[in-house]
Amino acid sequence: MSKPPVSKPLTPAAQRALAEAEARREALDAKTAELARQREINGRGGLDPARYDDWEVKGLASDF
């Protein structure tokens, strides 16, 4: 039979680091949720032109 691993108590520095990491995760989740709620107003529809290396608006295209 195998024995369960013995867990050591965390040092105060380790506890602070875990608390800081949790706070950073929560802040990142809140920012991600805020960005997901924001929508572009009067933006151009369709695929992202920067991804496909050209802009096309009303039949006029410009490559870059």
CA 56 to CA 62: how far, in whole Å?
7
Tell me what pLDDT residue 60 has. Answer: 66
Strand, helix or coil at 44? coil
pLDDT in tens, 7-33: 889 999 999 999 999 999 999 999 988
Neighbours of 19 (CB within 10 A): 10
Tell me what pLDDT residue 5 has. Answer: 74
pLDDT in tens, 26-61: 999 999 888 877 777 776 666 665 656 566 666 666
Q: Could you identify the residue written with the tokens 């520095």?
A: 13
Tell me what pLDDT residue 1 has. Answer: 59
